Chains A and B, each alone.
Chain A
Amino acid sequence: MRRHSMILRAVALVASLTLVSAGASAQDKVIAIKGGTVLPISGPAIPNGTVIIRGGKIAAVGAGVAIPAGAEVVDAKGKWVMPGVIDAASQIGIEATDQNEASDPITPGLRAYESYNPYGTFGAGKPAPLRNKELLGGGVTTMYLSPADATVIGGQGFIVKNAGNDFDSMIVNASAAMDMTLGTPPKTAARARNRDPYTRMAEVALIRQALIKAQEYQRNKASNPTLPRDLGNEALVRVLTKEIPARIQANNATDIRSALRLGTEFNIDVIIDGGAMAWEFRDELAKRHIPVILGQQSHQYVSNEEIPDRQDYPPVDERLAGRLTALGIPTAIASFARAFGALAPAGSGKWLLVDAGIAAGYGMSEEDVLRAVTLVPATILGIANRVGSLEVGKDADVIILDGPPLSVKSWVQRAYVNGELVHQR
């Protein structure tokens, strides 16, 4: 992951200093989780397996692994041990009123993490390490969070862990992708404000014009470095140089086709978000190895409207995840959880495993379902070097469940993030 901006470097520096000063014991701490059914995801299940955590990283995984002297031993007999779940699309922690900068359809300069609130309800709670308890209870340890869908180019999404000792230490990547939306939501929001885009034609035209302007900005800036900086164009240049991908929310066939065309025209990396009708484009998706992040298996993708216009929201085909995966198309299952007015925070992300389990009834192997909420999203998000499987050297983000991971009755008994026990039931 390339990180160019000064701010990001500062974030990384602060994070590492914190680790050095406060984390000396965590650095040395050794934990042995033994006797459980270990699902490393990167390989076959290991009955009666052991996972060794050292200094916040995975140090060993296997059957018959020797337990180091002095290790804290966690008995996982009769339990399941797997990497923390990764939700590749969510908006939890971003309040309903902060999801959309709907005053303008093109806002690439915005960073969603400025709206992120891991501190809980306003005026309630005491200073404490940041723990998203409900998500950890569902096994979710890492998420991609983004602006919502009322704008055509909404801004930059970010990747965060669900536990940290402070805000900075939760952040995995503060600017991970450029979030875009095609289809009904931006049109609806625009009509309510009597501004463009009223149509799909205008949505695509707005994106093309913005990317063309960014190409010109890039060219002009190269020849004249003293040109005034423009945040939006700077961010879009990172898309043009493939430093970050464009995540384009596209559900129906028209929108997916437009997203694929934009990718070709501007030679940018595209990820399809939603992708309800992706099956129609399976050949191109497979050939170009374009990832698809599918929404909830139990429900069609819908926007913030309580009663959606069904014509514009293709129904879920529960077979889709398995079928795309079988073709080698990187396919993640995500929650697309978002706050529902003042009534509910984006809570459904905690049921990602429960929801993904549906796909296992529709021809997708259990292994593939679990991969679709761990290693596949990690790879799509560009963080597979750190998370997504139980492999030596990766972050020790480990969950212990009291039953099979895809059962609605199973609960996460323990969750570790960076080797630290951050949740217990």
Chain B
Amino acid sequence: MPSARLFVALTLLSAPTVLVAQSEAIVIRGATIHTASGAPIRNGSILIEGGKISAIGTSVRTPAGARVIDANGKDVIPGMIDNHSHIGAKPSDLNDSPVVVGPQHRFLDALDLNDPDFKDAVSGGVTTVVTGPGSGENVSGMAIVIKTFGDTLATRMLLEKGGMKFAMGAKSRERYPTTTMGVAANLRQYLIKTQEYMAAGKKWVDDGSKGNPPARDLGYEAMTDVLTHKTYVRAHVHSATDIMTLLRLKDEFGFDLTLHHSTEAYKVAPEIAKRGVSAVVLPLGPRIGVTDDAMGGPAILWKAGVKIAMHTDHPVINQKWLRLCASLAMRYGIPEEEALKMVTLNAAQIARVGDRVGSLDVGKDADLVIFDGAWYEPRSRVELVVGNGKVIYDRAKEGN
């Protein structure tokens, strides 16, 4: 893909009138900028060119012809990142329940880019999402990381191998496994078979790649990506017991692991921290709620040094209220800037897209949100959302 700057130059030569609409420079002035990577900048400005952030600070240059947005007294934050959701697919396409271990399933194959929920998510300031299969199986498939806006899959895709979904507690009355023991054994057996599959492939290569290669198996192939760190495990897990099972599996097989929902993770925070495992927390936020003890969990994990992010599990919680999940984390003891990271930089890094999005830094995608008040207060409104350097939501034009 050509660089954005090159694209600008090419467009300028061929169709200068289109350029203004597509890639005009934007300067946002006078805002309190919460960068997610450093201290807030009071009365700060951001320069956006070619879809990227090209300058940020207390004073930035204003190129000729740039659109200037006065954000005096307003809050600016990075476009938010929902680290765990199911947006973009029909509920009936999320779980292929008869296949209890199905790493070959790809959320991409069920993705509907025209899902109206994406527009809603943008209006709430969510610009990037990890979206993936459900949690009805022990292994339910590969997630993707995409932007919530844009016309084509190519421009929206950030990461095609966006993480392999495991689900602890995906038990059933009708088929194996019916117990926690069964889920653990089922996962171990499959990982061992993957190791054997990898060994067979390696042996064939080591023997000089003679004759037909070993038969391909999409499931083992996908799980090979997990064991070779090309992707990582995103594990749906609630209880401390199941978290310990996952940590043991990680110790045994050496894959990269992130915990999701993580309701009881706070009870085993040191065990998680010492393995460098990240946790995506509080699935049950504003709609459903958990006990005050569990709500205090993120603060315990944060203090223990665990990298944490927040998620909506959309459609469980409407994605546009991702920020309210962070607000609740704040209510229960996470400092403001850390709470912001949970829906921006941490979420991006855990999703392995931290080089592109998640903070307001020079060179990153120009995804940001302007609020009419403190970003975390329920009554504050999203005024403007910028995605890849363009205005993708403008409250003034929505009439509400």
Interface residues of A (CB under 8 A from B): 133-134, 137, 296-300, 302, 306-310, 315-316, 319, 337, 340, 343-351, 354-355, 357-362, 406-409, 411
Contact = CB atoms under 8 A, between A and B. Distances in A.
Interface residues of B, number: 33
A298 B317 CA distance: 8
Contacts of A319: 400
Given A319-B400, A354-B331, A409-B331, A307 B288 contact: no
For the complex of A and B, list the 5 residue pairs with the smallest distance between their C-beta atoms, beginning with the closest: A347-B289, A348-B289, A357-B378, A307-B91, A361-B379
A362 B399 CA distance: 11
B134 A307 contact: yes
A297 B379 CA distance: 11
B315 A358 contact: no
Interface string B375-400: 01111110000000000000000001
Given A134-B292, A351-B289, A355-B286, A308 B91 contact: yes
A310 B315 CA distance: 9
B91 to A, nearest CB: 4
B135 to A, nearest CB: 9
B290 interface: yes
B296 to A, nearest CB: 12
Contact of A406 (B289, B315, B379): B379
Nearest to A137: B292
Most buried by A among B317, B318, B379, B380: B379
A357 B328 CA distance: 13
B378 A344 contact: no
Interface in B80-94: 86, 91, 94
A344 B377 contact: no
Contact of A361 (B117, B284, B376, B380): B380
A315 B319 CA distance: 12
B288 A298 contact: no
Contacts of B263: 343
Nearest to B292: A134
Contacts of A296: 286-287
Given A299-B321, A307-B134, A354-B327, A348 B287 contact: yes
Contact of B91 (A309, A348, A355): A309
A349 B289 contact: yes
Interface string B88-121: 0001001000000000000000000000010010
B324 interface: yes
Interface string B283-314: 01011111110000000000000000000000
B6 interface: no
Contacts of B52: none
Given A408-B327, A408-B331, A409-B331, A302 B287 contact: yes
A302 to B, nearest CB: 7
Contact of A351 (B91, B94, B286, B317): B286
Most buried by A among B94, B292, B324: B324
26 contacts: A137-B292, A298-B317, A298-B378, A306-B316, A308-B315, A319-B400, A337-B288, A340-B288, A343-B263, A343-B284, A343-B288, A346-B289, A347-B288, A347-B290, A348-B286, A348-B287, A348-B288, A350-B292, A355-B286, A357-B378, A358-B324, A362-B400, A406-B378, A406-B379, A408-B330, A408-B377
A337 B289 contact: yes
A349 to B, nearest CB: 7
A133 B377 CA distance: 24
Most buried by A among B91, B284, B287, B316: B287
Contacts of B376: 408
B29 interface: no
A300 B134 CA distance: 20
B272 to A, nearest CB: 20
Contacts of A337: 288-289
A175 B251 CA distance: 56
A406 B327 CA distance: 13
B341 interface: no
B147 interface: no
B234 interface: no
Most buried by A among B91, B134, B330: B91
Nearest to A310: B315
Contacts of B91: 307-310
Given A315-B120, A344-B284, 16 more contacts: A299-B317, A307-B316, A308-B315, A343-B284, A344-B291, A346-B289, A348-B286, A348-B288, A349-B289, A354-B331, A354-B378, A361-B378, A361-B381, A406-B379, A408-B377, A411-B331
B238 A343 contact: yes
Nearest to B239: A343
Given A343-B284, A348-B289, A355-B286, A298 B379 contact: no
B330 A409 contact: yes
Contacts of A345: 289, 291
Contacts of B120: 315
B289 A344 contact: yes
Contacts of A306: 316
Contacts of B400: 319, 362
Given A299-B318, A300-B318, A408 B378 contact: yes
Most buried by B among A300, A307, A411: A307
Contacts of B286: 296, 298-299, 348, 351, 354-355
Contacts of A347: 284, 288-291
Nearest to A338: B288
Nearest to A308: B315
B287 A299 contact: yes
Contacts of A137: 292
Contacts of B292: 133-134, 137, 350
Contacts of B86: 307
A3 B76 CA distance: 56
Contacts of A349: 289
A345 B289 CA distance: 7
Contacts of B289: 337, 344-351
Contacts of B287: 296, 298-299, 302, 348
Contacts of A133: 292
Given A307-B134, A310-B315, A360 B328 contact: no
A11 B287 CA distance: 34
B398 to A, nearest CB: 11
Contacts of B291: 134, 344-345, 347
Contacts of B134: 307
A408 B330 CA distance: 8
Contacts of A316: 318
A349 B378 CA distance: 16
Contacts of B330: 408-409
Contacts of B290: 343-344, 347
A358 B377 CA distance: 8
Contacts of A354: 286, 324, 327-328, 331, 378
Nearest to B321: A298
Contacts of B317: 298-299
